[in-house]
């Protein structure tokens, strides 16, 4: 694997670290299996791309993507909390709807922003190679994201959110409005995923309506790999695990695709991902002493 390919994998891993963090919030903190993310990733990419094409400041465009993502999360939360639709189904409905919404927003399946100024543009003047600038810049953003989310989850409100997912009955007995917590958590989770989409569009120069397929599995892969690598520790370790997991996943995929003896093609990516996630789920169980029926 070449250095450029490695930094490319690192860059993608850092972009998807936001997906990992978002999926961590929904799946692990709230215990809400949320497939909305398959729609909110291209939503974030599309909103950011269209906004940037309309000469809106790229930072504001990224913020707009986050707001759009949080709206998607709120729709799923409303379907689930207000109308009592099963969480998985509620999120699939939003995801399907978002495909049409994204096409409306973008106007066409693919929007290129190759020659536009993005949030990364100013940093290309630092004198470093662009393939190094991007992961460096993203690493700073991800670090800021981890710190903010960590502070949130160790606050009174964030702790209440963790209790909501871990033991809702206990949470209510402690005076926590669990419904409200789900709304906020889902909004936050999907905002993070939409930010990943916005970053993807800006670092790759395009937004594509099909870019979201399998987002949830990639996010889960990050969470699970992180959890496997860092088996002990509190919430901060878990958050850092999501980031490391996302990077490890991308680098591992890159290795697998680059290894000629495996004979894999780029189109095998989804299969490799599924096998990787399945392995990450099975391995800890094997280690714990065999597969009980």
Partner 1 sequence: MIRVEGLSVVYARGTPLQKHALTRVSLTIRSGEFVSVIGSNGAGKSTLLGAVAGDVTPTAGRIEIDGRDVTRWSAAHRAGLVARVFQDPLAGSCGELTIEENLALAAARGTARGLRRALTAARRNLFRERLADLGLGLEMRLGDRMALLSGGQRQALALVMATIAPCSVLLLDEHTAALDPGMAEYVIELTRRVIGEQRLTALMVTHSMRQALDCGTRTVMLHEGEVVLDVEGTERAGLTVDALVDRFRRVRGQTIDDDELLME
166 binds partner 1 (CB under 8 A): yes
CB of 228 to partner 1, least distance (A): 17
Contacts of 107 (CB under 8 A, 6+ apart): 50
Closest Cα to residue 164, out of 192, 188, 196, 191?
A: 188
> SS3 for 20?
helix
147 binds partner 1 (CB under 8 A): no
Q: Do β-strands 110-112 and 206-208 pair in parallel, antiparallel, or remain unpaired?
A: antiparallel
104 vs 288, which CB is nearer to partner 1? 288
159 binds partner 1 (CB under 8 A): yes
Which residue has 């093609």 as its token pair?
Answer: 265
Q: Which stretch binds partner 1 (CB under 8 A): 98-106, 174-182, 220-228, 266-274?
A: 174-182
284 binds partner 1 (CB under 8 A): no
CB of 4 to partner 1, least distance (A): 41
Task: Show the binding pattern over residues 231-260: x = contacts partner 1 (CB under 8 A), - = does not.
Answer: ---x--------------------------
Q: Residue 56, class by beta-carbon neighbours within 10 Å (0-12 exposed, 13-18 middle, 19+ buried)? A: middle
121 vs 154, which CB is nearer to partner 1? 154
159 vs 272, which CB is nearer to partner 1? 159
CA separation for the pair 36, 97 (Å, rounded): 10
Element (H, E) at 261: none
Q: Please report, as ranges, the residues that interact with partner 1 according to CB under 8 A.
A: 151-152, 154-160, 162-163, 166-167, 169-178, 234
């Amino acid at each position: 694997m070449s250095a450029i390919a490695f930094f490319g994998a690192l860059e993608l891993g850092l972009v998807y670290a936001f997906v990992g963090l978002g999926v961590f919030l929904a799946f692990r903190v709230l215990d809400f299996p949320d497939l909305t993310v398959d729609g909110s990733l291209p939503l974030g990419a599309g909103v950011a791309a269209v906004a940037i094409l309309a000469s809106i400041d790229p930072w504001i465009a990224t913020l707009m993507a986050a707001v759009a993502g949080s709206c998607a999360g709120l729709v799923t939360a409303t379907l689930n909390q207000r109308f009592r639709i099963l969480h998985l189904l509620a999120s699939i409905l939003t995801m399907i709807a978002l495909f049409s919404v994204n096409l409306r927003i973008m106007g066409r399946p693919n929007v290129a922003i190759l020659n536009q100024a993005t949030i990364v543009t100013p940093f290309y003047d630092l004198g470093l190679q662009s393939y190094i600038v991007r992961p460096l810049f993203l690493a700073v953003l991800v670090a800021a994201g981890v710190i903010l989310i960590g502070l949130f989850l160790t606050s009174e409100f964030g702790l209440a959110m963790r209790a909501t997912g871990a033991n809702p009955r206990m949470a209510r007995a402690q005076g926590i409005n669990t419904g409200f917590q789900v709304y906020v958590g889902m909004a936050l989770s999907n905002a993070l995923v939409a930010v990943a989409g916005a970053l993807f569009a800006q670092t790759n120069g395009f937004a594509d309506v099909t870019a979201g397929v399998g987002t949830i599995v990639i996010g889960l892969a990050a969470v699970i790999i992180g959890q496997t690598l860092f088996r002990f520790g509190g919430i901060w370790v878990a958050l850092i695990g999501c980031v490391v997991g996302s990077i490890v996943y991308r680098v591992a995929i890159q290795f697998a695709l680059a290894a000629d003896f495996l004979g894999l093609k780029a189109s095998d990516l989804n299969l490799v991902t599924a096998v990787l996630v399945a392995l990450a789920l099975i391995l800890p169980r094997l280690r714990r002493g065999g597969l009980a029926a």
